[in-house]
């Protein structure tokens, strides 16, 4: 684990098997796409996440209180996990920090976590 990753982080994943068919753009542009991110967690689990967990993310900015979301400031390296609170604000979870503001761009929701994939 490099010094740059003392905290958990997310990286784009390419799952194999049937799940791989759903990576990338949907046929119809209006439909949200599903993409996958791997949790890289330098410490033991927090909030039930383990290093290597692959999260299925529905790329939409609509989220409701209680939803687990990925938020960012536009760069893949800034992606972090958070949970939407009752005031429709976003609270970091799992040891992730809030994404650092990028060139004045505030953090916003990139997608909603719809599920978690684990392979043997």
Partner 1 sequence: MAAQRSVLHVDLDAFFVSVERVLDPSLRARPVVVGGSPERRGVVAAASYEARAHGVRSAMPMARAMQICPDLVRVSGSHRVYRRASKAVSGILGEQVPVIEKVSVDEAYLDLTGTHMVLGKPVDTAEKIRREVRERLQLDLTVGVSRNRLVSKVASAFAKPQGLFEVHAGQEARFLAPLPVKLLPGVGPVTEKRLLEFNIARLGGLATTESWFLESVFGSHGPAMQQRARGEDDTPVCPPWEQPREKSMGHEETFAEDTGEHAFLRAKLQELLASAARRMRQKGM
Binding site for partner 1 (CB under 8 A): 17-19, 22, 26-28, 31-34, 48, 56, 58, 60, 64, 66-68, 112-120
> Please, which residue, 32 or 74, has the CB nearer to partner 1?
32
> Please, which residue, 53 or 77, has the CB nearer to partner 1?
53
Shortest distance in whole angstroms from residue 26 CB to partner 1? 5
Judge whether 11 and 36 are in contact, CB under 8 Å.
no
> Please, which residue, 2 or 119, has the CB nearer to partner 1?
119
Q: How far, rounded to the nearest angstrom, does the alpha carbon of residue 50 sit from its chain's CA centroid?
A: 14
Q: Which of 25, 27, 23 is nearest to 12 (CA)?
A: 23
> Please, which residue, 60 or 102, has the CB nearer to partner 1?
60
Shortest distance in whole angstroms from residue 73 CB to partner 1? 23
If one counts every other C-beta atom within 10 angstroms of the C-beta of residue 96, the result is 22
Shortest distance in whole angstroms from residue 95 CB to partner 1? 19
> Mapped to the 3 state alphabet, what secondary structure does 42-87 carry?
CCCCECCECCCCEEEEECCCCCCCCCEEEEECCCHHHCEEEEECCC
């Amino acid at each position: 684990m490099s010094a740059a990753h003392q905290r958990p982080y997310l990286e784009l994943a390419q799952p194999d098997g049937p799940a791989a068919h759903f990576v990338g753009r949907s046929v119809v542009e209006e439909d949200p796409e599903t993409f996958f991110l791997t949790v890289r967690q330098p410490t033991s689990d927090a909030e039930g996440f383990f290093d290597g967990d692959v999260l299925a993310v529905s790329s939409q900015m609509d989220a409701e209180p209680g939803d687990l979301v990925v938020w960012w400031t536009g760069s893949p390296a800034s992606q972090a996990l958070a949970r939407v609170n009752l005031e429709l604000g976003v609270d970091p979870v799992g040891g992730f920090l809030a994404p650092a503001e990028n060139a004045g761009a505030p953090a916003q929701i990139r997608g909603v976590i719809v599920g978690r994939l684990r392979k043997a």
